[in-house]
Structures are given as structure tokens and as C-alpha cells.
């Protein structure tokens, strides 16, 4: 089953379970058996040649899913070894029924080790973890991770916070995860993708619950949004129809940043792009990308003229923090034009304590987000969704919190998450390309929310295309070159 667009917190998914049991009249054990059936189906999809599996069970409902899987896998002719990290006699409720049915079907706890399986199934904790992993289970998780065998996690890799996507002490590093009922936010945010691997989803045949219970915590940013924001152009169109973007940046010694942002604007389809930079940078930018209009910021009059002509302004790439940079940012903020704010402009905002406004898109990475909120980058990464909420409360507008699983938020809207992208994009200038892509799309669609989401998505898709020949050594200019293909999908 394809991944749904909506993501939910673990509490919301538990509410959906409860709704199915209490309102729809579906027994909890029926849901557990459906989960076991789905787990077997996806296990065989992912590892079709595997015959020997080891299932490591804990003591909650996640263990119950494991025992059901063990029974069904044995019936399907697989060689199944069950290892229990907790005495089965402690099981309660549906998990106890699953264990008893496993034993009644002839299942047994075969002596063996993790290495006895071609695939190890993690049925230790799921979403039931409260606080850090206990020492004895941490030892089991370490053994699973060091086994040298592929790992298949049920619902959520054990030890991973299903909401924030961070490890609670030790966490299973799965090659694949099958999650049930609702797609959990922790699988796609923070470190979640690193621990979850390939994510499969099964709704266990549940119909939607009442709308009040189904307001998602996040939505996936999907390709259909590209077509909505950037529809097919009329044959009679001219460059004036697609917006005028001004990129203000590239202080002394930093010509590349504004050039990358400006080129990204053009590559996503902006009609006209001007870069306003320190005078000594004009020649280098004009020579390298003649399609860009270059303005030397030698005084207030030159910037004022460029601001007046622009429909959208991107400020920050290579700007620096000099008096020249501060004056340029002050003029940009006073222009009343739609803004995309990045890099040094964000650092200057953090220093000045800028007021909230609705007409900007801020694009901080975790370090910049920390400075804006008076926190460390580690604080931001500990709970990226909570950090996004705080940024929105403080600055309003549209916020793009960059990083693995980039988040896009605005007050009154369900945040979006981008699952595309790769570690090769962690390279100098990648953020400048993103700034330009968002600004160029904003100039065309004139809608901040769509521009931010689509800009993030096409930037990530471009990164994946550029990384096909390898992630290491990827350049920001490689991303810019791929953008044209990505906005014409």
C-alpha cells in the first residue's frame, strides 16, 4: 500500500485504534491479526528469498504483532525462531492471546541466536515506549544492530520516539519498517528515516474516523503540488508574466552565493532575475551567468531602484554582517514586498530581534533556527516539530526548517514534511539554491505556502537526481542545473 499523505502522532493513532474497537466494533485481536498478516506480506515483498526469520518479542502489543507474524510465517512454510526479551507469562490482553495461539499452533521458542535468521524482526517496543530504553532492552537492541542481518521493524523501530523521530537511548536501525493504522510522524522527521529504512504502510482495513480525530500532525509534500503551483504556460506568455525576482546578497568576497540563488530563480522559471551585490562581485557573476541582471550596491539609490522593480525579494545569500549588509537588509524589510529570508539575513534578524510579519518566508537551518530562538542547534534537532511551532509563534509568515526531513509551516495550516533529498546535499551553497528556487516559484504562483512547499520539494528532487552518480562530491551548482527538469515533471 502506498504511503498516505497524512502523518499522525502516536497518541492520534492510539485514538484511531480505540475508535475502531469501541465505535466500529472491531476486536483488538482482529486488528492484531491483520497487522501480523500485513507484516508477513511486506516482509516477503522486501526479502522474497528469505526462508529463515528470527522474531524478537517484547512484552506489549508490539510483541503480540510479533507472535501473530510468527504463527503466520510458520504456516507459510518459513523457518521461524522466536526470541523473547521478556517472559511471555507477563503478557496481557491481546498480546497474551497472540502468544497462546502461537503456542497452540505448534510454535515454540527454538534455541538459537540472532544470526540464525536471514532477517530479524523487531517486535520489542513499537510505540509503547515511555522514556528512555531500559538497560536490559538496550543490550538487546545493540545485539540486533550488530548482528549483521537485515532488520524488519513492526510499527516503529524499538527505541525510536514515534513523534519526534529521535532515539530514546538505544534504537533499532531497521532496513525496513511496516507501520499500521496511521503513518507516524517520527518515521519521517528528525533521525526517523535513518532508523526506519524503507517504510511500508497498512491501514488494517480501517475506515476513517470522525474528522475531529483525523486532523493530521503533518502532511507529505507530493509531486502533484508542483503542477498546481506551476501550471502549463499559455502559448502567448512572455517573461513579464512570470515575475521579477531581486536577490540581495553577496557581500565582499562572496560572489557565488547570490549567483547560485539567482540561477536557481531562473531554472525554476522566474521571468527576470536581478542580483544586487557588492560592486566587486558584479564582474564575476555577470561573466559566469550572463542571464542574470547585476546591480552594484554602491549606495541607497541603487538598491531603492532595484527594490521598486521587484515583485519578490530574496535576501541573505552571502550577505555578511557588515554595516553594508545591515543597511541593505533594513531597506529590504521596509520595501513591503514579499520576501524570502535566508543565511546572514536570518543571523541579523536574530541579533536585532525583528518583529513578526506575514509576508515573508524564513528558511533557517538548525543552527540559524537556534539563534532565532535563543537555543542550540541540538535543542532544535531534539524536537523539530516543536521548534517549527515556536518559530511560527515568534515570527509568523511561512517557515522552512531545513535539514533531513525539511519541515514547512504556517500559522493555521498543517505543516508539511519533505521525505526526498540525500546527505550529498549537505554542501556549501545548497541553501542558496533553495532560497532562489522558493523565490522564483513565489514570483510565479504568488502564494507563499505553495512556493515554500514546492520549492523545498523540487530542490530535494534535484538533489536526488544529482546524486545518481554519487552523493559524495555533489556541488550546489549540480542542484541548480537539475531544477529545470524538476519543475517540468
In tens, the pLDDT along 3-45 reads: 999 999 999 999 888 888 888 899 999 999 999 999 999 999 9
Say yes or no: 99 and 247 in one domain. Answer: no
pTM above 0.75, yes or no: yes
DSSP state of 333: H
Residue 71: C-alpha distances to residues 33, 94, 112, 217 (Å): 10, 15, 18, 35
Say yes or no: 350 and 261 in one domain. Answer: yes
What is the CATH classification number for the domain harbouring 35?
A: 3.40.50.10260
For 272, the domain range is 224-486
Measured distance CA(270)–CA(340) in Å, rounded = 14
pLDDT at residue 1 is higher than 80: no
Pairing of strands 218-220, 198-202: unpaired
Say yes or no: 308 and 160 in one domain. Answer: no
Say yes or no: 372 and 459 in one domain. Answer: yes
Which of residues 217, 248, 277 is at a domain's end?
A: 217
Number of helices followed by number of strands (H, E) in the chain: 18, 18
pLDDT at residue 129 is higher than 90: no
Measured distance CA(191)–CA(132) in Å, rounded = 16
Query: What are the phi and psi torsion angles at 32 (to 5°)?
Result: -65, -40
Task: Answer yes or no: is 469 within a domain.
Answer: yes
pLDDT at residue 424 is higher than 90: yes
**What is the structure's pLDDT at 212?**
53
Task: Answer yes or no: is 91 within a domain.
Answer: yes
Q: How confident is the model at residue 213 (pLDDT cuts 50, 70, 90)?
A: low
Q: How confident is the model at residue 350 (pLDDT cuts 50, 70, 90)?
A: very high
pLDDT at residue 268 is higher than 70: yes
Helix, strand, coil % in the chain, rounded to nearest 5: 45, 15, 40
Q: Find residue 219's DSSP bridge partners.
A: 6, 416
pLDDT at residue 327 is higher than 80: yes
Element (H, E) at 469: none
Evaluate whether 214 touches 186 at the Cβ level (below 8 Å): no
Say yes or no: 329 and 374 in one domain. Answer: yes
Say yes or no: 199 and 238 in one domain. Answer: no
Say yes or no: 438 and 311 in one domain. Answer: yes
Which is higher by pLDDT, 467 or 114? 467
Measured distance CA(99)–CA(289) in Å, rounded = 67
User: What is the distance, to the nearest Å, from the Cα of residue 417 to the centroid of all Cα atoms in its chain?
Assistant: 4
Cβ atoms within 10 Å of 428's Cβ, excluding its own:
11
Evaluate whether 30 touches 17 at the Cβ level (below 8 Å): no
Say yes or no: 31 and 123 in one domain. Answer: yes
Nearest Cα to Cα of residue 194 among 46, 365, 10, 381: 381
Task: Answer yes or no: is 122 within a domain.
Answer: yes
Measured distance CA(263)–CA(424) in Å, rounded = 20
The total number of structural domains that make up the chain:
2
Measured distance CA(389)–CA(392) in Å, rounded = 5
The residue written with cell numbers 536585532 in the block is 352
Task: Answer yes or no: is 1 within a domain.
Answer: no
Task: Answer yes or no: is 50 within a domain.
Answer: yes
pLDDT at residue 395 is higher than 90: yes
**What is the structure's pLDDT at 92?**
93
Task: Answer yes or no: is 284 within a domain.
Answer: yes
Say yes or no: 205 and 274 in one domain. Answer: no
Which of residues 187, 217, 247 is at a domain's end?
A: 217
Task: Answer yes or no: is 460 within a domain.
Answer: yes
Say yes or no: 208 and 260 in one domain. Answer: no
What is the CATH classification number for the domain harbouring 300?
A: 3.40.1190.20
The residue written with cell numbers 516477503 in the block is 44
Which of residues 194, 217, 240 is at a domain's end?
A: 217
Q: What is the CA radius of gyration of the chain?
A: 26
DSSP state of 233: P
Task: Answer yes or no: is 213 within a domain.
Answer: yes
Evaluate whether 365 touches 431 at the Cβ level (below 8 Å): yes
Cβ atoms within 10 Å of 393's Cβ, excluding its own:
11
Residue 304: C-alpha distances to residues 28, 203, 350, 431, 447 (Å): 66, 56, 24, 26, 24
Say yes or no: 252 and 343 in one domain. Answer: yes
**What is the structure's pLDDT at 202?**
96
Mean pLDDT of 281-297: 95
Q: How confident is the model at residue 110 (pLDDT cuts 50, 70, 90)?
A: low
Question: Residue 243: left (phi > 0), alpha (psi -120 to 50), or beta?
Answer: left
**What is the structure's pLDDT at 130?**
77
DSSP secondary structure of 405-454 = T-EEEETTS--EE-----GGG-STTHHHHHHHHHHHHHHHH--HHHHHHH
Mean pLDDT of 175-182: 96
Say yes or no: 184 and 229 in one domain. Answer: no
Query: What are the phi and psi torsion angles at 150 (to 5°)?
Result: -65, 150
Amino acid at each position: 500500500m502506498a504511503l498516505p499523505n497524512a502523518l499522525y502522532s502516536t497518541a492520534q493513532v492510539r485514538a484511531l485504534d480505540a475508535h475502531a474497537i469501541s465505535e466500529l466494533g472491531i476486536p483488538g485481536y482482529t486488528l492484531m491479526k491483520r497487522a501480523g498478516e500485513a507484516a508477513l506480506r511486506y516482509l516477503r515483498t522486501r526479502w522474497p528469498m528469505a526462508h529463515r526469520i528470527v522474531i524478537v518479542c517484547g512484552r506489549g502489543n508490539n510483541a503480540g504483532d510479533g507472535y501473530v507474524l510468527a504463527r503466520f510465517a510458520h504456516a507459510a512454510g518459513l523457518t521461524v525462531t522466536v526470541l523473547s526479551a521478556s517472559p511471555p507469562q507477563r503478557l496481557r490482553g491481546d498480546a497474551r492471546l497472540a502468544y497462546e495461539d502461537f503456542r497452540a499452533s505448534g510454535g515454540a521458542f527454538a534455541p538459537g541466536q540472532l544470526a540464525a535468521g536471514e532477517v530479524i524482526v523487531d517486535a520489542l517496543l513499537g510505540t509503547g515506549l515511555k522514556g528512555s530504553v531500559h538497560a536490559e532492552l538496550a543490550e538487546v537492541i545493540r545485539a540486533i544492530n550488530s548482528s549483521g542481518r537485515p532488520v524488519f521493524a513492526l510499527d516503529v523501530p524499538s527505541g525510536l520516539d514515534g513523534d519526534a523521530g529521535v532515539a530514546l537511548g538505544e534504537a533499532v536501525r531497521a532496513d525496513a519498517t511496516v507501520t499500521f493504522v496511521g503513518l507516524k510522524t517520527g518515521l519521517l522527521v528528525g533521525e526517523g528515516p535513518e532508523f526506519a529504512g524503507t517504510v511500508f504502510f497498512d491501514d488494517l482495513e480501517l475506515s476513517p474516523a470522525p474528522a475531529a480525530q483525523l486532523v493530521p500532525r503533518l502532511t507529505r509534500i507530493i509531486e502533484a503540488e508542483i503542477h498546481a503551483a506551476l501550471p502549463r504556460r499559455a502559448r502567448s506568455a512572455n517573461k513579464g508574466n512570470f515575475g521579477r525576482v531581486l536577490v540581495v546578497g553577496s557581500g565582499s568576497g562572496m560572489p557565488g552565493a547570490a549567483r547560485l540563488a539567482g540561477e536557481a530563480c531562473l531554472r525554476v522559471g522566474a521571468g527576470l532575475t536581478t542580483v544586487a551585490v557588492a560592486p566587486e562581485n558584479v564582474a564575476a557573476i555577470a561573466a559566469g551567468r550572463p542571464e542574470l541582471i547585476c546591480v552594484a550596491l554602491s549606495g541607497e539609490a541603487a538598491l531603492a531602484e532595484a527594490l521598486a522593480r521587484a515583485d519578490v525579494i530574496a535576501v541573505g545569500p552571502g550577505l555578511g554582517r557588515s554595516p553594508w549588509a545591515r543597511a541593505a537588509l533594513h531597506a529590504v524589510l521596509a520595501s513591503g514586498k514579499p520576501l524570502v529570508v535566508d543565511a546572514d539575513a536570518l543571523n541579523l534578524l536574530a541579533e536585532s530581534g525583528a518583529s513578526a510579519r506575514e509576508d515573508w518566508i524564513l528558511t533557517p537551518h538548525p543552527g540559524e533556527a537556534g539563534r532565532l530562538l535563543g537555543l542550540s542547534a541540538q535543542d532544535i534537532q531534539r524536537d523539530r516539530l516543536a521548534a517549527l511551532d515556536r518559530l511560527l509563534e515568534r515570527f509568523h509568515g511561512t517557515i522552512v526548517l531545513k535539514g533531513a526531513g525539511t519541515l514547512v509551516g504556517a500559522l493555521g495550516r498543517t505543516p508539511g514534511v519533505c521525505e526526498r533529498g540525500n546527505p550529498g546535499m549537505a554542501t556549501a551553497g545548497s541553501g542558496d539554491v533553495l532560497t532562489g528556487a522558493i523565490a522564483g516559484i513565489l514570483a510565479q504562483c504568488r502564494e507563499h505556502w505553495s512556493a515554500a512547499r514546492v520549492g523545498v520539494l523540487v530542490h530535494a528532487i534535484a538533489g536526488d537526481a544529482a546524486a545518481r552518480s554519487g552523493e559524495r562530491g555533489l556541488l550546489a551548482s549540480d542542484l541548480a542545473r537539475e531544477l529545470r527538469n524538476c519543475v517540468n515533471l
